[in-house]
Chain A
Amino acid sequence: MRKENSIVLLFFVLIITLVIGTANVLAATDSASSDVSFCCEKTNDGAWCLNEPESECNPSYNSAPTSCETTSYCKLGTCYDSDEGICMKNTAQRVCNDNGGTWDSREIEEVPQCQLGCCIVSDQAAFVSLVRCKKLSTEFGVEINYRTDINNEVSCIAEAQAQDVGACVYEKDFERTCEFTTRGDCGAGDEVKTVDGKNITLSNQKTFYKDFLCSAEELNTACAKQVSTTCYQGDVFWVDSCGNRENVYSDDKVRSWGSGKVVESDGVCNSNDGSDVDCGNCDYLSGSRCSKFDGFIGGPKYGNNYCQKTECVDRNGNSRINGESWCVNDGNTGNGGDKVGSRYFKESCVDGDVRVEPCADFRNEVCLENSIGDFGTAACRVNRWQDCIMQDEEDNCLNIDRRDCVWMPAVTGMIIGTQSANDTTYSNPSSTGTFSNPTANSSFTGNVVSPVTGQAINNGNEEKIVISGVNGNCVPNFPPGFKFWEDTSIQQVCGQANAKCVVVYEKGLLGGLKITKGKECMEEQWALSANRICVGLGDCGGYVNYKDQFTDDGYKWIQNKNEKKFTPNSVNIISGGFTGMIIAVTTGKEIDEEEIGDIYLVE
């Protein structure tokens, strides 16, 4: 009986073990499958073609455990809107078709319907597709004028400006009226008939007088000259009593009217940078554009439109012309010394306002500027820092066509990029857990206090003096920013620049020790040099943040078991914009006749 009971008990234990084991395996399988990335044609959040865990995929749409690039349903092509004549790049087939578009697997440049040409709509131009041109022409009620021989936008705009303009005169309600427009829009003289063997153009009750204003006396229309002013294409123009645009505004009415003929803007008054309220020849690039005058005193003599100054004043108090752009940053830039939390910005002057455009965060973009004469231009562009630490030759490091790096002098005991990132013999030098997200706390000062552990130091007696690189180290010219408050891998990154400097002593015959090798390891300059490289790697080391606050918990400098800090003088130098400090930890075990100094890099 006992034996039977034992067998039953054993059986139950076996069953339970199996059940638990199976459950664990299933759970593990579930967990593993949830980690597998699926290509969701549509996610539960409504986004199209994303690589997500299967649970995020909308079950009504396709999904497969592979990357979207390899699936047919998320193959990207061009979506063509046949109503509007608009083409959109990088579109999946279903999202296009479901919305009434026509999908083409080819690139936008290869789709015939997406080829661009010059569409002239009245005196305006647009560089668009043929269908788009038809749509625009219909909407503005003009005949289509599409030029495929013009293949760039600038020429297209120039073509529109070269259109014949003049007075389009016709009878309306027993009154001889007029419209100032282009020859094409007027539509005069469309009908051609042959009478007695001669071609005669019949007036379709409209006559086009090139370069005439509607108020010209010769035309004898009901339109009276210079009744009010209006803004048109950035300039101020006179307007006649029929609402037609005339020549550019000037308080010299006679000159502006030009005896009823079209006069070029420069023929009315000189290009106006905004200093003359009675000249409507505004110059956008010089810093003025047409605007309504809101004040009471000092306005234009006639009408209420004038050339308003659009110049700006930058942060340094310098005047900037309209359209000009320039770079702004939070502190040191380049040479491996960008401050923690700093960012690049592009600012531009647009119609009197300074527009701030931040470049990508974490210094993934930098701002570069140039100038054409006095006219400054700036742009954010990608910071190519990624492969700097892999370069061991100065020429490759400084190849500005390929990367943005800077070459720094070699530091005794430091080998960047070859140390084991997983070695965690050293504990986090700042493991007090005080990290915080700088964006979540306005009082955060931006210093980097990240846990950086360094390479373990061997306990044996085989320490050798090593020098980083042959002649130096390659680090980013614009060090990247780190998300140190949430990314734990930063410790390993900064740890790449740990340094270990061995000092060798020799016992004298009469006692006492004499340094035979590594004397420099005992000096602060060595730690500062190592720290400079640490800072060059990114938000590592002992350095200042964008608010110019220095923090010293980004490095650990241990000399013969004693932790040391930079002297106040060195800190002052660093805080004042020293470009490139190191966070270093000098640790080590006391070895007979040897002393080790280590520096650990911390963010």
Chain B
Amino acid sequence: MKKRGQKSKIFNYLSLTNQTRGQVTIFIIIGIMIVVIGILMYLFYPKIQTGLGISTDNPQIFIQSCMEDDVKTAVDEISSQGGSFNPKNYFLYQDKKIEYLCYTNEYYISCVMQQPMLKQHIENEIKNQIQNKKKECFNSLKKNFESLGYEVVLREGKTKVELLPKRIEVSFGNNLTLTKDGSKRYDKLSVLVNNNLYELVSIANSILNMEARYGDSETTIYMNYYHDLKVEKKKQTDGTTIYILTDRNKGNKFQFASRSLAWPAGYII
């Protein structure tokens, strides 16, 4: 009996120990999960916020979160196609339509500039490309703030896209007034994208002027001046030259085509 009692005590002790161990394990697992979620929130906060429909009372943050990815996608697409979303006069390079920014269809003559106002052209292309998303985001913005109890007055305004040094700014002239325990008015909401397209377009303009003048360009000099810039020049069989400008730090890319002072193959009879 004594023995049985002792045995029972030992059993209870062991049983208690197992229970405690189980609880500790659960706590550890919960702890790890909290840390992981915390890290995820920290890394992907804006995306999680909109993805889960988490609201914000700052319309600027809302618009930035809602539009940033689409602006980036539009910029990447346009940059890889010579500045146009739907190039018409293009060279097909690795299944990508790359627009001619300086072009002649003849031999022995210099090219004619096709997009002399390249920066403005790109700005317009980006603007056109994000119009649908803009409507969608402003509708979401309105619904979001109405759900938070705000009275929302939203007036349509103009969209302006600006390529600026080291960034692209998309600003919306939409007039937004939020009223709840007071009124707050926003005349401008904007989206900022970290991108060096402005610098790349400046280099492209310089290369295009050389193409128009000499029918060719010397690209090594650009890389000697700008150490973060990579300029690739791919001459094609028909006399077309594909230029790929890359920012080594950010990875931003701008590629375009040019055909100037082309030479035919062999003798002309």
Is A166 part of the contact surface with B, judged by Cβ < 8 Å?
A: no
Q: Which residues of A contact B266 (CB under 8 A)?
A: 362, 480-483, 487, 490, 493, 538-539
Q: Which residues of A contact B155 (CB under 8 A)?
A: none
Is A576 part of the contact surface with B, judged by Cβ < 8 Å?
A: no
Contact between A362 and B265, CB atoms less than 8 A apart: yes
Contact between B269 and A91, CB atoms less than 8 A apart: no
Is B147 part of the contact surface with A, judged by Cβ < 8 Å?
A: no
Hey, what's the 0/1 contact readout for A477-502 against B, CB within 8 Å counting as 1?
00011110001011011000000000
In the assembled complex, the Cα of A76 lies from the Cα of B202 at a distance in Å of 22
Q: Give B195 Cβ to nearest chain A Cβ, in Å.
A: 15
Is B114 part of the contact surface with A, judged by Cβ < 8 Å?
A: yes
**Stretch touching chain A among B29-37, B69-77, B117-125:** B117-125
Q: Which residues of B contact A348 (CB under 8 A)?
A: 220
Known: A421-B269, A480-B265, A482-B266. A50 touches B105 (CB 8 A): yes
Contact between A47 and B114, CB atoms less than 8 A apart: yes
Hey, what's the 0/1 contact readout for B191-211 against A, CB within 8 Å counting as 1?
000000000001001001100
Residues from 92 to 119 in B contacting A, C-beta threshold 8 Å: 100, 102-106, 110-117, 119
In the assembled complex, the Cα of A351 lies from the Cα of B117 at a distance in Å of 32
Known: A284-B227, A323-B220, A359-B235. A139 touches B165 (CB 8 A): yes
Q: Which residues of A contact B110 (CB under 8 A)?
A: 90
Cross-chain pair count, CB within 8 angstroms: 146
Known: A51-B106, A89-B209. A364 touches B164 (CB 8 A): no
Is A358 part of the contact surface with B, judged by Cβ < 8 Å?
A: yes
Is B248 part of the contact surface with A, judged by Cβ < 8 Å?
A: yes
In the assembled complex, the Cα of A325 lies from the Cα of B164 at a distance in Å of 34
Contact between A482 and B212, CB atoms less than 8 A apart: no
Known: A88-B209, A100-B120, A350-B230. A323 touches B224 (CB 8 A): yes
Hey, what's the 0/1 contact readout for A386-422 against B, CB within 8 Å counting as 1?
1000000000000000000000000000000000010
| Interface of chain A: mostly helix, strand, loop or mixed | mixed
In the assembled complex, the Cα of A1 lies from the Cα of B239 at a distance in Å of 73
Q: Which residues of A contact B202 (CB under 8 A)?
A: 86
Contact between B220 and A481, CB atoms less than 8 A apart: no
In the assembled complex, the Cα of A490 lies from the Cα of B263 at a distance in Å of 16
Q: Which residues of B contact A489 (CB under 8 A)?
A: 267, 269
Contact between B227 and A234, CB atoms less than 8 A apart: yes
Q: Which residues of B contact A539 (CB under 8 A)?
A: 266
Contact between B113 and A90, CB atoms less than 8 A apart: yes
Contact between B89 and A88, CB atoms less than 8 A apart: no
Binding site for A on B (CB under 8 A): 88-89, 100, 102-106, 110-117, 119-121, 164-165, 202, 205, 208-209, 212-213, 216, 218-220, 223-224, 227, 230, 232-237, 239, 248, 263-267, 269
Binding site for B on A (CB under 8 A): 43, 45-52, 74, 76, 79, 81, 83-84, 86-92, 95-96, 99-101, 108, 139-140, 233-234, 284, 289, 323, 325, 348, 350-351, 353, 355, 357-362, 364-365, 379-380, 382, 386, 421, 439, 480-483, 487, 489-490, 492-493, 538-539
23 contacts between A and B (CB under 8 A): A47-B105, A48-B112, A50-B103, A51-B106, A74-B112, A76-B112, A81-B119, A89-B113, A90-B102, A90-B212, A95-B113, A99-B115, A140-B165, A323-B224, A351-B227, A351-B248, A357-B219, A357-B235, A362-B265, A365-B263, A480-B266, A489-B267, A492-B269
